Amino acid sequence: MRIGIFGLGTVGQGLVEIMRQKNCGIEIAAVVDRSFAKKAQVLQGIPASADKDLILKDKSIDTVVELMGGIDDALYVVRSAIEEKKNVVTANKALLAEHGYSLFHLAERTQGGQILYEAAVAGAIPIIRNIETIFRNEQITRLMGIINGTTNYILTRMRKDNMGYGDVLEAAQKQGLAEADPTLDVGGYDAQQKLGLLISLVTGKWVEAKNIPVRGITELSSQDVIWAERFQNRIRLVADYKQENGQHYMHVTPALVDERNVLYDIEYENNAILFQGEYSGEHLFMGKGAGKFPTAFSVYSDLLYLKSGSAAAARKFAHTPLSTNYLSIGDISDTSSAFYLRLRVKDQPGVLAAIAQILGNNALSIASVHQDHSAVQAGEADIVIHTHSAKRNSFYRALQEIKNLKNFVLHQIYLPVLT
């Protein structure tokens, strides 16, 4: 088996190191990287170039490893590889989320090579292959998880070190745990793309990731982390899916989890995915969600899987995202949840009564209410409300009415309570 690697960044270099230490019978035939001349020490004699044709036109190379990142160049490479009947191993969830539907169909239509993408979701956690094989005939009715390491690291540091969001983000960027432009991670879009791939695999119908409702963590403050702790909760950015009454509901949102939830103890850049099978029950996968060697090992694992011949056999039966149908995503507002609501208000008579009236008018029952002046300016107060479970659309309607109380409601943040 001869492979060509596109992209010799952090993960690409990790893959080269792993393969040099393992006697796996797979040869790195060539590398394509724009700055290959600066990486002679890593290459150590491996043929390299910035010219994509070094790999794409080499008939002896049967598998392309795409680790370039981005979309446009990666799309050209993957599409060309499929047309040349080469297998593809990729860690590029953004590419698959946007163009996976057409790429999987191209591979099927042209009877080209396999597309493997274990490293595109949750780093070293072997979730893709397990769903494809062991759980291929199981109906998964619920899936939730932490699938973005950057945001989990930020939320962990905010709590453990009593730091604000901006300070932790800056520290994460200095450590290489957050991008210079962190929008994809902190905005929830990275988790949105990964959830789309997972649910496409689970259901056998393609999920347009851009249609999954998403909220990031940028609105959260240290006050929300403190309030969560007071009630023995922690805040996690959660990718959540459930099948209910024939509908498929999914979203990405920061949420409160309590100590009974397995996601409560998932800290720093670790990831975890919990799902419920119709017959097999509950399953938890956890591990490193990112990093040089964890991600590179998933790529390496896919290569071994291809070499063994197991990949082709498994995909004849697996719920691969090759259906000609798109999955209809249910309206998440039709589902129910309890909520945490923190309001920064002017400290004056009648404010709490007005808010309680709005909640009551929308059939929302208050589980607890607390008022605090410790972290606000003079003349202001934080009101923290926990509701009992209710229809999300009722809560959203009430929230909009509360926002309209502009004379005395200065700021608001809400979190669903994960169950």
Q: Which two tokens stand for residue 387?
A: 């509701």
Angle between helices 93-109 and 72-83 (to 10 degrees): 20
- Positive or negative: CA dihedral 252, 258, 259, 261: negative
* Residue 194 known to be catalytic: yes
Burial of 341 by CB count in 10 Å (0-12 exposed, 13-18 middle, 19+ buried)?
buried
Secondary structure of the chain in HEC code, one letter for each residue = CEEEEECCCHHHHHHHHHHHHCCCCCEEEEEECCCHHHHHHHHCCCCEECCCHHHHCCCCCCEEEECCCCCHHHHHHHHHHHHCCCEEEECCHHHHHHHHHHHHHHHHHCCCCCEECHHHCCCCCCHHHHHHCCCCCCCEEEEEEECCHHHHHHHHHHHHCCCCHHHHHHHHHHCCCCCCCCHHHHCCHHHHHHHHHHHHHHHCCECCHHHCCECCCCCCCHHHHHHHHHCCEEEEEEEEEEEECCEEEEEEEEEEEECCCHHHHCCCCEEEEEEEECCCEEEEEEEECCCHHHHHHHHHHHHHHHHHCHHHHHHCCCCCCCCCCECCECCHHHCEEEEEEEEEEECCCCHHHHHHHHHHHCCCCEEEEEEECCCCCCCEEEEEEEECCEEHHHHHHHHHHHHCCCCCEEEEEEEEECC
Q: Which two tokens stand for residue 164?
A: 């604000």
How many C-beta atoms surround the C-beta of residue 2 within 10 A? 14
Q: Do 174 and 167 contact (CB within 8 A), yes or no?
A: no
- Looking at 194, 288, 307, 406, which residue is catalytic? 194
SS3 state of residue 95 = helix
Catalytic residues: 194
